[in-house]
């Protein structure tokens, strides 16, 4: 391992949430493409936006502002479990020296909502650093990352939809 491949990454964009949020979805840390775009799930091969659009029965939105409006109008809050870390590129498996995100500000806005983890690394880090403080267990969802090749888009939509729809489309 060449140390020059490591980069210290600090989260630079705000959580997306409001008092109408019904769920909170947490990823790990912004990918290289997300950092370049200054917005969540910026890699074109990441299936996050396709999965959520299908779950909500809408077309995939293109711009960051459209995506933010889509999330808030559907009761979906998003952020990441990591405030800062050392990472190689966008590889969750390389993450080290984690400073966890403070989720209390988000939960003060949203109230005590169900929390979902986008992938195993987000799930493990949340359990390690944040679950004791929030008192809310996290539901593990399969990662929408292109690195999760074992899950095709249809399977992701099925599982994510099954878990999220009861909260998003109550009554």
Sorted by where each begins, the domain ranges of the chain are 3-165
On whether the CB atoms of residues 22 and 85 are closer than 8 A, the answer is: no
What's the whole-model pTM score?
0.95
| Cα–Cα nearest to 31, from 52, 5, 11, 1 | 11
Q: Which two tokens stand for residue 80?
A: 């990441």
pLDDT at 167 over 90: yes
Q: Which two tokens stand for residue 20?
A: 């109408």
Q: Rounded mean pLDDT of 139-166?
A: 97
Q: Which two tokens stand for residue 135?
A: 């008192």
Backbone φ, ψ for residue 40 (5° rounding)? -65, 145
Q: Rounded mean pLDDT of 73-90?
A: 96
The CATH number of domain 3-165, selected from 3.40.470.10, 3.40.1280.10, 3.30.1330.10, 3.40.50.2300: 3.40.470.10
Q: Rounded mean pLDDT of 69-75?
A: 97
Q: Rounded mean pLDDT of 89-118?
A: 96
Give buried/exposed letters for 38-61 (b at 16+ CB in 10 A, else e).
Answer: ebbbbbeebbbbebbbbbbeeeeb
Q: Which pLDDT does position 170 carry in this prediction?
A: 65
Q: Which pLDDT does position 64 carry in this prediction?
A: 96
pLDDT at 166 over 60: yes
End-to-end CA distance of the chain: 53
Torsion on CA atoms 144, 145, 149, 150, rounded to nearest 10? -40
Q: Which two tokens stand for residue 26?
A: 């947490």
171 pLDDT band, cuts 50/70/90, is: very low
């Amino acid at each position: 391992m060449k140390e020059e491949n490591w980069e210290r990454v600090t989260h630079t964009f705000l959580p997306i949430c409001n008092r109408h949020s019904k769920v909170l979805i947490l990823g790990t840390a912004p990918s290289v493409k997300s950092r370049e775009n200054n917005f969540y799930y910026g890699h074109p091969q990441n299936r996050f936006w396709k999965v959520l659009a299908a779950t909500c029965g809408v077309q995939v939105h293109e711009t960051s502002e459209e995506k933010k409006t889509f999330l808030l109008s559907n009761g979906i809050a998003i952020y990441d479990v990591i405030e800062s870390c050392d990472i190689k590129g966008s590889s969750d498996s390389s993450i080290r020296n984690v400073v966890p995100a403070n989720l209390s500000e988000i939960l003060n806005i949203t109230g005590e909502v169900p929390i979902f983890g986008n992938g195993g690394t987000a799930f493990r880090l949340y359990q390690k650093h944040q679950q004791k403080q929030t008192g809310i267990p996290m539901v593990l969802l399969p990662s929408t990352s292109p690195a999760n090749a074992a899950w095709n888009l249809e399977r992701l939509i099925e599982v994510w939809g099954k878990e999220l729809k009861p909260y998003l489309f109550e009554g």
